[in-house]
Structure 1
Amino acid sequence: MGPEIADLARTAGTTVVALMAGQAWETARDGVVALWQRFQPARAEAVGGELEATRDDLRLARQSGDADTEAELTAEWQARVRRLLLAQPEVADELRRILAELSPQLPEQRPSVDVRLRAEVSGSGRVYQAGRDQHITER
């Protein structure tokens, strides 16, 4: 499997799960089901049911603050899409088209930043480090 297929599957799985809790859910669901209908029609109805079940699980996870379940659901959909792409590589162009239509509807996400802090102190020195705001009151 080429890295392009893996990247496309990751993007698709992440996009589908991200849109499950928003207003664009029906459009995302219809696009995914139509994709399966076109390339694996015998599985399309089951995929629709799996999408609905995943949406229910996602809502419960978000209500309880369970980020692990949300990550697992995303990984499951990434794997499903990857298997579809491996079985039928011609799906890729249609999937890219669907993702292009859905991407403007994605919730705005703040970019992730990798922050690494390192300090060395000797003697009676002090170090104050923070990844964001820091307020120090010494008495």
Structure 2
Amino acid sequence: MDPQITELARVAGTTMVTLMATHTWEAARDGVVSLWQRFQPDRADAVGEDFDATRQELLAAREQGDGDSEAELVAEWQVRVRRLLTAQPDVAVELRAILDELAPRIPTVDPAAVTLNAHVSGSGRVYQAGRDQHISER
């Protein structure tokens, strides 16, 4: 497998699923469907329906805090894009253009924001830090 195709499929699948949970999901859907319409028109409608279904699954997974399901959805779209790229290598140019157009719409995580959670029972201890931590116990 061509490493460039694999990487492009990874980025595309991750980007698509990430955007499914944002207010710009329709633009991502339109880009994906247009890509399939151009290169595999017989599959375009099904891809659009799958995009919508994946979005519903993703929103439900996020609501339930189900990271495993979200990761599976990302992997599913990565495979789908990789198959398209393998069958139609010319897709890569247009896919990159779509990703470049959608990139500014990807939500960014504030690097200064830190969320820590811990659950301890019995005589357990938790040490959490957003940066360096030094513990001296005797």
Task: Provide the rounded CA distance (Å) in 1 between the counterparts of 2:62 and 2:107.
Answer: 15
Aligned residue in 1 for 2:117: none
Q: CA RMSD of the aligned region, Å?
A: 2.2
Aligned residue in 2 for 1:28: 28
Shift of 1:109: 3.0
Alpha carbons of 1:110 and 1:5: their partners in 2 closer, same or farther (altered >3 Å)? farther
Task: Provide the rounded CA distance (Å) in 1 between the counterparts of 2:103 and 2:40.
Answer: 24
Shift of 1:132: 2.7
The equivalences for 1:1-139 within 5 A come to 1-109=1-109, 131-132=129-130
Gaps of 5+ in 2: 112-126
Task: Provide the rounded CA distance (Å) in 1 between the counterparts of 2:66 and 2:134.
Answer: 30
Shift of 1:130: 5.1
Q: Point out the structure with max Rg over C-alpha.
A: 1
Gaps of 5+ in 1: 112-128
TM-score by length of 1: 0.80
Name the count of aligned residue pairs.
Answer: 121
Task: Provide the rounded CA distance (Å) in 2 between the counterparts of 1:3 and 1:131.
Answer: 37
Deviations 1:9-38 (A, max 9, x none): 000000000000111101000000000000
Give, as a single letter, the amino acid of the residue that structure 1 aligns with 2:96.
R
Task: Provide the rounded CA distance (Å) in 1 between the counterparts of 2:6 and 2:110.
Answer: 23
Alpha carbons of 1:45 and 1:100: their partners in 2 closer, same or farther (altered >3 Å)? same
Deviations 1:73-104 (A, max 9, x none): 00000000000000000000000000000000
